[in-house]
Amino acid sequence: MQVIEAAGRYTPAPDGEPNHWIEHLVSNDLSVGTYSIPAGGLDDQEPHAEDEVYVVTAGSATLVTDSGTAPVGPGSVIFVAAGERHRFTEVGADLALVVVFAPPYGSRGG
């Protein structure tokens, strides 16, 4: 067992960066990290080669994907399939998300 204390905790982006990503755990089958976007900030991510689940722990935004658009806030849980374009827009309050990738982030090389 491993308790991931910092997962989901908002972390400000370093100077000049539009957002912050930190990976907390990597196993053979999945990885877990926290993605933080400041209020009014930019989500500049590209589609991933892995499936992912977002759990919103703080803040608010609109998630825009190839398959739809939805407002999200604390408690929202969202599945995004590998390869699907997606972006958080209209970040109204500092956004913090636990992100679970399966298989691990970057393991499919895309």
User: What pLDDT is stored for residue 110 in this prediction?
Assistant: 56
What residue type is 68 in one-letter code?
G
Burial of 64 (0-12, 13-18, 19+ CB in 10 A): middle
pLDDT above 70 for 14: yes
Phi then psi dihedrals of residue 8, to 5 deg: 85, 0
pLDDT above 90 for 30: yes
pLDDT band at 109 (very low <50, low <70, confident <90, very high): confident
% of the chain residues with pLDDT over 70: 99
Predicted structure pTM score: 0.93
In the chain the domains, ranked by start, together with CATH numbers, are 20-102 (2.60.120.10)
**Of residues 56 and 104, which shows the higher confidence score?**
56
Taking alpha carbons only, the member of 17, 30, 39 closest to residue 98 is: 30
CA distance 38 to 34: 13
H or E stretch covering 92: strand 86-102
Using an 8 Å Cβ cutoff, are 69 and 11 in contact? no
pLDDT in tens, 50-101: 999 999 999 999 999 999 999 999 999 999 999 999 999 999 999 999 999 9
pLDDT above 70 for 42: yes
